[in-house]
Chains A and B, each alone.
Chain A
Amino acid sequence: MRVKSLLIFAGLVGALLVPFAIADSFLLFVINTLLVFAILAVSLDILVGYTGYMSLAHATFFGIGGYASAFLVREYGVSQSVAFLGAILFVALFAALVGLASLRTSGIYFAIVTFAVAIIMELLVGKLQFLGGSTGLAGVPLLEFGGFLFVEFEHYYYLFLATLVLTLLMKWYFIDSKTGRALKAIREDEKLATSVGINTTKYKMQAFVFASTISGAVGVFWAHYQQFIGPETGGFFRSFMLFAMVVIGGRGSMAGPALGAGLVVTVRDFLELFSPAVTNIFFGVLLLVVVIAAPEGFYLLLKEYCLKYSKPVRARLGVSE
């Protein structure tokens, strides 16, 4: 049996048992945060790692999803299931618009356009009074689906875990599909891809809307989980952090971005004991180190390390991969 599948299975079982093993609710809170950012990073990687388009606006859709649902539920008393669908639809539409506009550019220009979109949206949302202005919307009700009210950290843990697994599965399927192969072709050489007849616009749009909608959906969960949403929730800094997570963890891989998210969230929560400035310095340096010494990200580094040191063991077991 393949070692990798065994590990994944063990990981899943372990993940299901986590809330029983952990009594400290603060730790569960951190893990929940970790899971959410992992979902965001994994979805962003579809754009950054597989298509080669560096989006600096991923958190924007996260915020829009959250705001849409929070607003609908809080102001109009819409049922949460309907609000969820409405929010997702809204995010998808907005993503389509942004995609249509921005995907005409590429490389650094694309990064700049998404950066501008991120800043504009963050500023705009902060000025619109009906969205709470710069103080945001508080008193957002807890998540509730089909009568079940999500109250405890454990409830959200399973929700986020399920979403992460679902996202990974979708990504896995997506990558091996025709779309996925087209995206990889685009990443390697877009002009060449177009010249062999690949409809790059169609596939780029698909990837962009898909990734952004996932971000928006998680945004809905987050808004109700935190019971609050503000302009920084979907702001540029968060988009940048997500991008950093993908780069540090390892873009263009399944688990890399999640690893990056894990690293960043844990380190940040640990370092915040010192001072926010030190935390940021550490990240800036980490980003530089990764981009200079390990451009493939820590995941690949870790994978190589594991492969290298498990060689004797594997040989003895007669296992290949």
Chain B
Amino acid sequence: MADVLSLLLQQLFAGLTISAVYALLAVGLALVFGIQNIAHFAHGALFALGAYLTYAFVVQLGVGYAPALVLVMAVMAAVGPIIYYLGYHPLGEAHEATLIAALGLLIVIENLIDEAWGSEYLSVPYPFGQEYYEVGGVSMLNQDILTIAGAVVCFAGIYFVLNHTKTGLSMRAMAQNKKAAEYVGISPTRVYVVTFALVTVVAGVAAVLIAPTRPLQPAMGFNPIVKAFIAVVLGGMGSLLGAVIAAVILGVTEAFMIGLIAPTFADIASFSLLILILLVKPEGLLGES
């Protein structure tokens, strides 16, 4: 009996680790969608970029892991707004065009990574070695614990920015009612730039945390961003808490599918779940229509 319990808990831990990444990406997507109405698919490629930058700093330039984290965050803070200016800003208010632009950007960034680093698998070494901690029959990898902890810190940071800073207030105002926000003097462009910087930094952090645990390849952002998108839609487009909860549900379900039920159909199950939810409750779990 204790065996079954520890098996379930083991999968739960695996699920939480997966969820951490999905949730971080999903929050970024939800913010951009909620504030700017853009389906920012390119976010996945930026996540991949973060992982490759980690490789560049740690492996190619010999920088330590912690300094690399800071450097990646700095680069991402700049890259985010640049991507916004190049791809989304010129479109103005045209919404379906942003989907096309997002996909275009995704392709461009992914392939630039391919050109720069090649398409063979690269790997980032574990910064603290691969140590497992045994708690209650569950074996936890130190990098995974770090990932989950890092994600929680990021969420706390985002929460703080949104609720206790003036910028965060502007962002929430824009999300609620763009025109009204403009009337009270909030500059949309400024909010958009800050939003993009923030979400790209978060994606960068997620990438740095997860980089040692998987092989790097240029398209590595595609699958996670799709899952993150599913989480955003499930949680209700624009609801951050919904996105996080949905990401956790998704990640844990995926871990259970992979570990216990049917690994081959894990992805199919996730996507089918998306279709089901969209058909039954298009506004998502926590969304308003």
Contacts and interface: CB of A to CB of B under 8 A. Distances in A.
Q: Is the interface of B mostly helix, strand, loop or mixed?
A: helix
B268 A124 contact: yes
SS class of chain A's interface: helix, strand, loop or mixed? helix
B111 A278 contact: yes
Interface string A115-146: 01101100110010000000000000000000
Contact of B108 (A107, A113, A288): A288
Contacts of A107: 95-96
B154 interface: no
Interface string A259-296: 00000000000000001011011011111100110010
A158 interface: no
Size class of the B contact interface (CB-based, 8 Å) = 35 or more
Nearest to B218: A277
B94 interface: yes
Given A116-B271, A288-B87, A292-B90, A108 B110 contact: no
B245 interface: no
A271 B264 CA distance: 35
A3 interface: no
A101 interface: yes
Interface in A62-107: 101, 104-105, 107
Contacts of A220: none
A183 interface: no
B112 A281 contact: yes
Given A284-B108, A288-B105, A116 B274 contact: yes
Interface string B118-144: 010000000000000000000000000
A108 B271 contact: no
B282 A281 contact: no
Interface in A140-163: none
Contacts of A291: 91, 97, 100-101, 104
A109 B278 CA distance: 8
Interface of B: 39, 86-87, 90-91, 94-97, 99-101, 103-112, 114-115, 119, 218, 226, 229-230, 233, 264-265, 267-268, 271-272, 274-275, 278-279, 282
